[in-house]
């Protein structure tokens, strides 16, 4: 009896803690939502960081650790003198531009490189930030500038990656050079985006390709029939329901889906061929993937290089800015997004391990 009493008290404490946690969490979510409504300051905020400065800071930190005090002091003095001269030249250049002809001004123009990131999931959910970043860049960028996209994606939904690709077309339509860097993977929908680059580079062992279309879903019709469970679907239109999770899959329905998949594959191949005419499309549109050095041999990329190399080289000749747009979310949205992202990444990780197991050592 004493044991039952103690056990009952323990359960009561646990229940109290759970209820308290739920109440506090609900209050935080409600407060976050109210704050979001009250602020009225837009959907998100753009952030811009000058990467030249970050690279200079990193270089200074290394010098400070490696050089002795006398050498470091001399380096600082020379660096300060160089920056002062660059600033003087820059002001002189700007003044000359104001008083010069348009042709001379273009010769004196210092190039700007805008760096953006796209880390794709199944739903290409980062397209919401991507569209805002591109809109911001296009308010100032000219054909003398460049956009550099660091792209990572194993692919996903066709319509979602179609929209992401359309955002990149906005850059190309303005005649602004678009460099896309792939450090790890750009497959399927990821390569649909990557092939739009005017200059496509990949790390030596980055995975590219998977130019194919896949439709798959589990079907429990036979299991339901075995246990005498009826599943009714009422639809209008001959092919409104073809493949479903619980309904019976007919040969006619299966054939229709196969036709749709083949048609989408043709559209995918034409898209890649249109934007990378150098590829032998029939030999690469088999659903296979290749690493960067193999992709170069097949004209799927223009160079083998990491995004870090591209950015460091760009900093030598241009002003380089990292542009990012963060969408404001309530606490509830953030919590839900975190759970969704965790589940999504777990599924994608398992999927990638199955697809790419032959590339692991």
How would you class 325 by CB atoms within 10 Å of its CB: exposed for 0-12, middle for 13-18, buried for 19 or more?
buried
- Domain membership of residue 254 (yes or no) is no
**In a shared domain, residues 97 and 152:** no
- Domain membership of residue 336 (yes or no) is yes
pLDDT of residue 17: 64
pLDDT in tens, the chain (361 residues): 555 555 555 655 666 666 566 656 555 555 554 544 433 345 789 999 999 999 988 888 888 888 887 877 777 777 777 777 767 766 776 676 666 655 555 566 889 999 999 999 999 999 999 999 999 999 999 999 999 999 999 999 999 999 999 999 999 999 999 999 999 999 999 999 999 999 999 999 999 999 999 888 788 888 888 888 888 777 788 777 787 888 888 888 889 989 999 999 999 999 999 999 999 999 999 999 999 999 999 999 999 999 999 999 999 999 999 999 998 766 666 566 666 566 666 655 655 555 544 444 3
Residues 181 and 73: their CA atoms lie apart, in Å, by 37
Residues 357 and 361: their CA atoms lie apart, in Å, by 9
Is 204:279 a contact under the CB 8 Å cutoff? no
Residues 241 and 196: their CA atoms lie apart, in Å, by 34
Structure tokens, 58: 């990193």
pLDDT of residue 360: 42
**In a shared domain, residues 126 and 94:** no
Structural domain total, the chain = 2
pLDDT of residue 359: 44
Domain of 177, CATH number, reads 3.90.226.10
Structure tokens, 208: 């590219």
**In a shared domain, residues 296 and 308:** yes
Alpha-helical regions (H) of the chain: 2-39, 51-66, 69-99, 102-108, 127-138, 158-173, 189-194, 221-226, 251-275, 281-284, 292-297, 307-317, 331-355
Strands 185-187 and 178-182, by their bridges, are unpaired
- Domain membership of residue 298 (yes or no) is yes
- Domain membership of residue 262 (yes or no) is no
Q: Return the closest-CA partner of residue 180 out of 192, 165, 195, 161.
A: 195
- Domain membership of residue 247 (yes or no) is no
CA distances from 223 to 232, 241, 342 (A): 15, 19, 31
Q: What is the pTM of this model?
A: 0.75
pLDDT of residue 241: 79
- Domain membership of residue 64 (yes or no) is yes
**In a shared domain, residues 149 and 83:** no
**In a shared domain, residues 190 and 294:** yes
CA distances from 15 to 5, 74, 154 (A): 15, 67, 43
Q: Could you tell me the residue range of the domain that residue 61 belongs to? A: 53-109
pLDDT of residue 347: 56
- Domain membership of residue 96 (yes or no) is yes
**In a shared domain, residues 300 and 164:** yes
Active site residues: 188, 240
Is 189:156 a contact under the CB 8 Å cutoff? yes
């Amino acid at each position: 009896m004493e044991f039952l009493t103690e056990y009952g008290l323990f359960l009561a404490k646990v229940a109290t803690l759970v209820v308290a946690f739920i109440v506090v969490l609900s209050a935080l979510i409600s407060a976050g939502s109210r704050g979001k409504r009250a602020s009225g300051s837009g959907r998100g905020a753009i952030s811009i960081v000058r990467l030249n400065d970050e690279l200079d800071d990193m270089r200074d930190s290394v010098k400070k650790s490696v050089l002795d005090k006398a050498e470091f002091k001399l380096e600082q003095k020379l660096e300060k003198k160089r920056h002062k001269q660059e600033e003087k030249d820059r002001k002189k250049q700007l003044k000359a531009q104001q008083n010069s002809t348009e042709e001379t001004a273009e010769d004196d123009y210092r190039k700007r490189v805008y760096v953006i990131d796209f880390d794709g999931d199944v739903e290409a959910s980062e397209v919401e930030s991507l569209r805002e970043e591109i809109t911001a860049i296009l308010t100032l960028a000219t054909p003398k500038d460049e956009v550099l996209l660091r792209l990572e994606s194993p692919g996903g939904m066709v319509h979602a990656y179609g929209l992401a690709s359309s955002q990149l077309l906005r850059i190309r339509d303005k005649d602004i050079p678009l460099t896309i860097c792939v450090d790890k993977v750009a497959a399927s929908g990821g390569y649909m985006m990557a092939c739009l680059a005017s200059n496509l580079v990949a790390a030596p062992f980055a995975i590219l390709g998977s130019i194919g279309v896949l439709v798959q879903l589990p079907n429990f019709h036979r299991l339901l029939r075995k246990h005498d469970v009826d599943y009714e679907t009422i639809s209008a239109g001959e092919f409104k329901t073809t493949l479903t999770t619980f309904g019976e899959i007919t040969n006619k329905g299966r054939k229709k889906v196969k036709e749709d998949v083949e048609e989408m594959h043709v559209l995918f191949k034409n898209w890649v061929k249109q934007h990378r005419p150098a590829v032998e499309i029939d030999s690469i549109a088999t659903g296979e993937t290749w690493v960067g050095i193999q992709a170069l041999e097949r004209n799927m990329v223009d160079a083998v290089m990491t995004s870090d190399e591209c950015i460091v080289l760009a900093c030598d000749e241009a002003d380089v800015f990292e542009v990012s747009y963060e969408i404001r979310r309530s606490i509830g949205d953030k919590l839900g997004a975190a759970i969704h992202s965790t589940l999504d990444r777990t599924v994608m990780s398992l999927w990638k391990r199955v697809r790419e197991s032959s590339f692991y050592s």
